């Protein structure tokens, strides 16, 4: 449903888009992404000039501001190498959202070209590299949150394929898995009541499933849900898929 | 106003109302999904096809409208056109007055809500009675529907029983079956006494001029069995190219709206009654209504006109589930309403420019839409339009400074280090509204700005 | 009003003029919307009865069964299409009052109405009525029990087939089970305006 058509892959060198959230809060997720990719023999290049995918302003309706950031991103991630992002949301921004706001812009083709070589991490691992098995061990019961911006893409299925492949991982389902966590970027601060209510509903479902770790491919959802749980004084352990894969290689939960 | 109006409305909604809206939308959504995926190998392909069919019809309305007009006339119907809601109301009044008619029974039609027909007719001495049970209750309560398919999703049986008692429909009794029987008994005599039956249309086939109407209660059928004049009030977007397309659309409509293979009564109306049939309208009028639809057709959100009013997007929407329908201040609530309602405002777009903000852009609406409308994309386009038209947006953080920073790596890196401040200053003391709104309910993770870059540089390959 | 016609059509043309291309009408096989695995290899009358039951209706295969059911429900006063009555009359005992004209001023007198069905749809359990086969629209709608007399040979397998056969009748109505509402707290109640009991009598 999303415009997520991919160019065929050549070689095993990628550019890492760490995402602004990892840049500011979740450095370990970005580091785990690098370690996972390198474990698979992928050469990871980190363009120093990167900032953000442009989504906050895009979702907020300020497309002039957003396009400025997207143009910067297009410049920063020049070349032919695939761009790998440990976030379904930022990936979708580049292969779908940016196309929408550049529809009537002269540089739309360059934006579309970046979109075609942008991959969400799990999608890249499973559907790009063909990874179906995982080594090491990670003893944990895991609930996996299908983040909304992976709807219509292959990312959630890919993430589940990987988690199922990790020795020691037990996956548990929880209620209303198709429902949003309530983050939604600026939505979380302009609709704080609805946003928190949605988040608490999600937390109720997740807690009922009693996982050791709550895992997602998007740290934005985890920041919201983890933040709600912590504020309530009932913290939950959240991790990114990349952290689970990396920790498995290192022999278990850290 | 600190936050968005819909958020404030949701915060003030009584807990029992929220719970009942949540429960019934969730149940219908889950049944819908199970039904479609149990019965068809590729339900998503059905939705895509239906979307393509309706998009084709919309983009060829210039040929289909005259075509359907000719077919309707050939079938014996009279065809009228109304640019605005007022013009449509006026036309209905003329038709009734020309026949000395004073009593109308109405089948459920969102279009008549949109143009406030009953309110218009009342001072002219015309009773326009709603016959759908939910709409009837809305009418006696002088209330507004809060869901496209389930107008009284916001009311409980006790409130309904009180209304019935007040209207002289029997002593207080809140048993749903008793409520329904009382309405049955009261309304059937109203149908039989009425002069005119007014309906909408779910679809009109350009190929045959066939009007398709679906109801579960059988009220449109009763309108068309008891009265002698049929007026069908139809938005110009209801046209489908061919009869065969109706099969696909009907299969999707019942399942998407109410989790039924087919809605109970599906009527195909090909003109006034046949001469041999004793019951039903001898005269049929079709009023095609624009009322802003051509503006929507001209916009970059024309896909919203594909909508077949099934309500599936309301049922799945986490925001609708928390806020209920009245939060949207419009006849059309929920995700579809958040797109359609501001567009139908024409020059007064700003008054409803907040509706497209009422979404986390989760995309569940797009995923369930039987005509595959990319609702999140349309919400985003309208947010951009609101920004371009400088409509104020409470609670939305300004993005200009952020964009400057995020397009200059040096400034960005400096900010990553500066953010460290967050660890030392209590968030309550930082005068950024977005941060305040975040922190009221959620903890912020520890600031780790620049740490990954450091790690990346330092590590030896 | 003719002014509004021109105004609307001109706005439509104006709205569509900037489109470089118009969305094409998709080519598709209607089979895609057919529940083939449900239908395949089934006797259509049997499947129809099964599906009608699923939506809250009943099927009888003999007039005797029908009469026993009406008796049990104490529905003793009704209307019957005069064309059908000669065949059905012998099965109705003296405690039944069956009228061959429908007087709408006494609408509440009729507990049942018997009319002819034009056809049916097995896949959905739908009874198809049209103006040609229905002696009175009201008689098939207002009484609590509606009995549609349905010829076995007229059952379509699926919705798609039935749409293809819509024909030229002025008013075709598909009835899929009894009249229903879930308006009050989502609780299903049958018999709102139309029949609370929908019966097919197969002949």
C86-114 pLDDT tens trace:
999 999 999 999 999 999 999 999 999 99
CA distance B266 to chain C (A): 5
Q: Which residues of C touch B169 (CB under 8 A)?
A: none
pTM: 0.96
**Are the Cβ atoms of B455 and A178 closer than 8 angstroms?**
no
Condensed to tens digits (0 to 9), the pLDDT of residues C119-171 reads 999 999 999 999 999 999 999 999 999 999 999 999 999 999 999 999 999 99
What's the CATH superfamily of C35-202? NagB/RpiA/CoA transferase-like (3.40.50.10420)
Write the DSSP assignment of C85-132 as a string of letters. HHHHGGGS-TT-EEESS--GGGGGG-SEEEEE-SEEETTTTEEEEETT
Best interface-test mutation with B: which of A31, A151, A193 has the largest number of B CBs within 10 A? A193
Closest-CA residue of chain C to B37: C35
Query: Residue C66's beta-bridge partner residues?
Result: none
| Mean pLDDT estimate for chain B | 94
Which of A23, A53, A97, A220 would best serve as a mutation to test chain B binding (most B beta carbons within 10 A)? A23
Taking one residue from A and the other from B, the number of pairs with CB-CB distance under 8 angstroms is 227
Name the residue among B396, B409, B456 with its Cβ closest to that of A190: B396
Chain C positions touching B263 (Cβ under 8 A) are 176
CB contact under 8 A, C22 and B134: no
The whole-number pLDDT of residue A116 equals 95
Contact B19, B148 (CB under 8 A): no
Strand pairing partners for C172?
A: B268, C130
Query: CA torsion sign, B172 to B178 to B181 to B187?
Result: positive
Q: What's the average model confidence in pLDDT over A93-98?
A: 96
The domains located in chain B, with CATH, are 5-12+294-388 (1.10.1060.10), 40-291 (3.40.50.10420), 401-458 (no CATH)
CA distance C94 to chain B (A): 29
How high is the mean pLDDT of chain C? 96
CA distance B347 to B114: 17
β-pairing verdict for C77-80 and C97-99: parallel
Write down the pLDDT at residue A254: 46
Q: Which residue of B has its CA nearest to C185?
A: B156
Predicted local confidence at residue A93, as pLDDT: 97
| Nearest chain B residue (CA) to C123 | B261
Contacts of A230 in chain B (CB under 8 A): 442-443
Helix (H, G, I), strand (E, B) or coil at A43: strand
What does the pLDDT look like over B295-326, one tens digit per residue?
999 999 999 999 999 999 999 999 999 999 99
In sequence order, what are the beta bridge partners of A169?
A140
Report the alpha-carbon distance of residue C156 to residue B78 in Å, rounded: 33
C173 touches chain B (CB under 8 A): yes
Q: What is the dihedral of CA A61, A63, A65, A71, to 10 degrees?
A: 140
- Of A25, A3, A5, A27, the closest CA to residue A16 belongs to A27
Domain boundaries, chain C: 35-202
Question: Quick one: pLDDT at residue B430?
Answer: 67
C109 part of contact set with chain B, CB < 8 Å: no
Q: In the structure encoding, which two tokens stand for residue C85, read together?
A: 């009555």
Structure tokens at B242: 């061919």
| Model pLDDT, residue C158 | 97
Overall average pLDDT of the B34-45 stretch: 94
Structure tokens, B394: 């409470």
**What mean pLDDT comes out for the span C15-35?**
96
pLDDT at A252: 63
Proportion of chain A in helix, strand, coil states, percent, rounded to 5: 50, 10, 40
Average pLDDT, integer, range B257-264? 97
Residue of A nearest to B45 (CA): A1
Using an 8 Å Cβ cutoff, are B240 and B206 in contact?
yes
Between the CA of residue C70 and those of B239, C20, C37, C50, C200, what are the distances in Å?
43, 64, 35, 21, 13
pLDDT band at A11 (very low <50, low <70, confident <90, very high): confident
* pLDDT for res A191: 95
Nearest to B402 among A50, A57, A191 (CB): A57
Nearest-CA residue of chain B relative to A52? B406
Q: Per the CB < 8 Å rule, is B406 touching A97?
A: no
Rounded mean pLDDT of A209-213?
97
Quick check: C20 contacting B, CB < 8 Å? no
Nearest to B62 among C2, C4, C13 (CB): C13
Q: Quick one: pLDDT at residue C149?
A: 98
CA distance A51 to chain B (A): 5
Q: Which residue of C has its CA nearest to B160?
A: C184
A224 CB neighbours in chain B (<8 A) are: 442
Beta strand B203-205 pairing with B211-215:
antiparallel
pLDDT score at B394: 83
Q: State how far residue B5 is from chain A, nearest Cα, in angstroms.
A: 9
Confidence of residue B432 (pLDDT cuts 50, 70, 90): confident
Shortest Cα distance from B388 to chain A (angstroms)?
Answer: 8
Q: Which of B383, B399, B455 lies closest to A27 in CB terms?
A: B455
* Separation in Å, CA of A162 to nearest CA in chain B: 24
Residue A86 has pLDDT above 80, yes or no: yes
Buried residues in B245-275 as b, exposed as e (16+ CB within 10 A): bbbbbbbbbbbbbbbbbbbbbbbbbbbbbbe
End-to-end CA distance of chain C: 51
**Which residue out of C25, C183, C196 would a mutagenesis test of the B interface target, given it has the greatest number of B Cβ atoms within 10 Å?**
C183
Q: Contact at 8 Å (CB) between B374 and B351?
A: no
A80: how many CB neighbours lie within 10 A of its CB?
11
Subunit contact B179:C184, Cβ cutoff 8 A: yes
Instruction: Give residue B398's pLDDT.
Output: 84
Subunits close to B (at least 3 CB pairs below 8 A):
A, C
Instruction: Give me the residues paired with residue C97 across strands.
Output: C77
Contact C166 B210 (CB under 8 A): yes
Question: What DSSP line would sit under B268-283, residue for residue?
Answer: EE-SSPPTT-SSS-SE
Mutate to test the interface with A, among B299, B317, B361 (most CBs of A within 10 A): B361
**Pairing between β-strand A213-216 and β-strand A238-240 as defined by DSSP bridges:** parallel
Output the pLDDT for position A253: 53
Q: Do chains A and C touch (3 or more CB pairs under 8 A)?
A: no
Percent of chain B with pLDDT over 90: 88
Question: DSSP for C133-150?
Answer: T-S-TGGGTSSSEEEEEE
Q: Report chain B residues whose CB lies below 8 A from the CB of A105.
A: none
Residue among C136, C171, C179 whose CB faces B218 most closely: C179
Residues B361, A221 contacting (CB under 8 angstroms): no
Radius of gyration of chain C (CA): 21
C159 contacts chain B (CB < 8 A): yes
Residue B110's Cβ-count burial label (10 Å; 0-12, 13-18, 19+) is middle
Q: What totals of helices (H) and strands (E) does chain A contain, helices first?
A: 13, 8
Distance from the Cα of B194 to chain A's closest Cα (Å) equals: 45
Q: pLDDT per residue over B113-153, tens digit each?
A: 999 999 999 999 999 999 999 999 999 999 999 999 999 99
What are phi and psi for residue A45, nearest 5 degrees? -105, 135
CA A218 to chain CA centroid, Å, is 4
* pLDDT score of A10: 84
8 Å CB contact of C132 and B262 = no
Can you list the domains of chain A with their CATH numbers? Answer: 13-128 (no CATH), 140-249 (3.40.50.11810)
- For B213-229, how does the pLDDT look when each residue is reduced to its tens digit (9 = 90+)? 999 999 999 999 999 99
Shortest Cα–Cα distance, C91 to chain B (Å)? 28
CA–CA distance, A190 with A194 (Å, rounded to integer): 9
**Average pLDDT over every residue of B154-177:** 96
B424: helix, coil or strand?
coil
Residue of chain C whose alpha carbon sits nearest to that of B19: C185
Residue of B nearest to A238 (CA): B445
Q: What band does B19 get if pLDDT is binned at 50, 70 and 90?
A: very high
Residue of C163, C164, C166, C178 to mutate for B, most B C-beta atoms under 10 A:
C163
Inspect the interface and report whether the beta carbons of C138 and B241 lie closer than 8 Å: no
Burial of C44-80, coded b for 16+ CB within 10 Å and e otherwise, reads: bbebbbebbeebbbbbbeebeebbebbeeeebebbbb
What does the pLDDT read at residue B399? 86
% of chain B with per-residue pLDDT over 70: 98
Residue percentage of chain A with pLDDT more than 90: 93
pLDDT band of residue B54 (cuts 50, 70, 90) is very high
| Residue C176: HSE in the Cβ half-sphere, 13 Å Cα cutoff | 24
Whether residues A68 and B399 touch (CB distance < 8 A) is answered with: no
Which residue among C24, C125, C172 places its CB closest to the CB of B268? C172
By CB atoms closer than 10 A (0-12, 13-18, 19+), residue B338 is: buried
Considering only CB atoms, which chain B residues are within 8 Å of A183? Answer: 360
Nearest chain C residue to B134 by CA distance is C183
Centroid of chain to Cα A136: 23
Q: What residues have CB less than 8 Å from A89, skipping those under 6 apart?
A: A55, A147, A148, A149, A218, A220
Query: For B103-114, what is the mean pLDDT?
Result: 94
Using the beta-carbon criterion (under 8 Å), do C23 and B150 form an inter-chain contact? Answer: no
Residues belonging to chain B: 461
Smallest CA–CA distance from B48 into chain A, residue: A1
B94: left (phi over 0), alpha (psi -120 to 50) or beta: alpha
Kindly determine whether residue A176 and residue B419, on different chains, have CB atoms separated by under 8 Å: no
């Amino acid at each position: 449903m999303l415009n997520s058509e991919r160019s065929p892959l050549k070689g095993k060198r990628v550019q890492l888009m760490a995402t602004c959230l990892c840049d500011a809060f979740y450095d370990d997720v970005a580091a785990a992404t690098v370690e996972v990719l390198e474990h698979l023999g992928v050469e990871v290049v980190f363009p120093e000039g990167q900032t953000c995918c442009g989504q906050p302003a895009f979702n907020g309706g300020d497309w002039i501001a957003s396009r400025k950031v997207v143009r910067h991103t297009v410049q920063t991630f020049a070349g032919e190498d695939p761009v790998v992002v440990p976030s379904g949301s930022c990936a979708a921004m580049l292969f779908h959202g940016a196309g929408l706001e550049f529809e009537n812009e002269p540089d739309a083709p360059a934006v579309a070209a970046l979109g075609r070589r942008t991959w969400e991490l799990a999608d890249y691992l499973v559907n790009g590299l063909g990874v179906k098995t995982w080594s090491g061990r990670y003893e944990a019961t895991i609930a996996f949150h299908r983040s909304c911006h992976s709807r219509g893409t292959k990312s959630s299925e890919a993430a589940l394929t990987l988690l199922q492949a990790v020795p020691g991982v037990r996956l548990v389902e929880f209620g209303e898995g198709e429902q949003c966590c309530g983050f939604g970027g600026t939505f979380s601060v302009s609709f704080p009541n609805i946003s928190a209510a949605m988040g608490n509903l999600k937390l109720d479902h997740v807690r009922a499933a009693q996982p050791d770790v709550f895992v997602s491919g998007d740290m934005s959802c985890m920041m919201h849900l983890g933040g709600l749980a912590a504020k309530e004084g009932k913290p939950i352990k959240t991790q990114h898929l990349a952290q689970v894969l990396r920790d498995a290689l290192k022999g278990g939960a850290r | 106003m600190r936050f968005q109006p819909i958020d404030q409305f949701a915060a003030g909604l009584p807990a029992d109302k929220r719970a009942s809206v949540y429960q019934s939308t969730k149940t219908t959504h889950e049944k819908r999904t199970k039904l479609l995926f149990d019965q068809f190998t590729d339900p998503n392909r059905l939705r895509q096809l239906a979307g393509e069919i309706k998009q084709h019809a919309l983009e060829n309305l210039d040929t289909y409208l005259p075509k359907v007009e000719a077919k309707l006339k050939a079938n014996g119907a009279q065809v009228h056109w109304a640019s605005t809601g007022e013009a449509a109301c006026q036309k209905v009044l003329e038709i009734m007055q020309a026949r000395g008619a004073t009593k109308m029974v109405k089948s459920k039609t969102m279009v008549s809500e949109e143009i406030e027909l009953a309110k218009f007719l009342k001072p002219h001495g015309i009773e326009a009675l709603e016959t759908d049970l939910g709409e009837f209750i809305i009418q006696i309560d002088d209330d507004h529907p809060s869901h496209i398919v389930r107008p009284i999703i916001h009311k409980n049986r006790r409130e309904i029983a009180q209304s019935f008692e007040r209207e002289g429909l029997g002593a207080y009794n809140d048993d749903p079956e008793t409520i329904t029987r009382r309405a049955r008994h009261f309304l059937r005599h109203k149908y039989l006494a009425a002069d005119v039956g007014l309906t909408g249309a779910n679809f009109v086939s350009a190929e045959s001029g066939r009007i398709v109407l679906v109801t579960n209660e059988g009220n449109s059928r009763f309108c068309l069995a008891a009265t002698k004049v049929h007026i069908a009030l139809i938005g110009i977007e209801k046209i489908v190219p061919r009869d065969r397309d109706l099969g696909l659309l009907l299969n999707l409509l019942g399942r998407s709206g109410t989790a039924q293979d087919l809605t109970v009564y599906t009527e195909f109306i090909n003109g006034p009654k046949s001469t041999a049939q004793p019951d039903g309208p001898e005269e049929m009028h079709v009023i095609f209504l624009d009322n802003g639809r051509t503006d929507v057709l001209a916009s970059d959100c024309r896909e919203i006109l594909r909508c077949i009013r099934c309500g599936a997007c309301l049922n799945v929407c986490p925001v609708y589930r928390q806020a209920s329908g009245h939060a949207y201040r419009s006849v059309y609530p929920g995700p579809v309403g958040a797109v359609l309602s501001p567009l139908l405002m024409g020059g007064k777009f700003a008054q409803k420019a907040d509706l497209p903000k009422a979404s986390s852009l989760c995309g569940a609406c797009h995923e369930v839409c039987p005509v595959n409308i990319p609702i999140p994309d349309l919400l985003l386009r309208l947010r951009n339009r609101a920004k371009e038209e400088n409509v104020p947006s409470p609670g939305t953080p300004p993005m200009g400074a952020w964009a400057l920073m995020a397009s200059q790596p040096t400034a960005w890196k400096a900010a990553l280090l500066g953010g460290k401040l967050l660890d030392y200053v209590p968030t309550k003391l930082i005068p950024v509204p977005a941060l305040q709104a975040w922190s009221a309910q959620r903890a912020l993770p520890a600031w780790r700005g620049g740490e990954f870059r450091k790690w990346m540089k330092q590590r030896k390959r | 009003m003719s002014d509004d016609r021109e105004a609307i059509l001109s706005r439509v043309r104006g709205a569509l003029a900037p489109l470089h291309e118009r969305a094409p009408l998709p080519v598709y096989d209607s089979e895609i919307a057919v529940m083939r695995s449900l239908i395949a290899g089934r006797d259509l009358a049997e499947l129809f009865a099964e599906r009608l039951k699923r939506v809250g209706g009943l099927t009888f295969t003999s007039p005797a069964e029908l009469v026993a059911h009406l008796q049990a429900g104490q529905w003793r006063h009704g209307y019957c299409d005069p064309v059908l009555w000669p065949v059905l009359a012998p099965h109705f005992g003296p405690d039944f009052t069956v009228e061959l004209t429908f007087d709408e001023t006494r609408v509440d007198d009729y507990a049942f109405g018997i009319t002819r069905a034009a056809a049916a749809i097995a896949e959905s359990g739908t009874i198809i009525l049209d103006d040609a086969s229905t002696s009175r629209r009201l008689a098939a709608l207002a009484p609590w029990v509606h009995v549609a007399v349905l010829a076995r040979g007229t059952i379509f397998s699926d919705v798609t087939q039935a749409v293809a056969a819509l024909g030229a009748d002025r008013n075709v109505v598909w009835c899929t089970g009894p009249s229903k509402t879930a308006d009050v707290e989502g609780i299903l109640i049958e018999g709102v305006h139309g029949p609370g009991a929908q019966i097919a009598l197969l002949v």
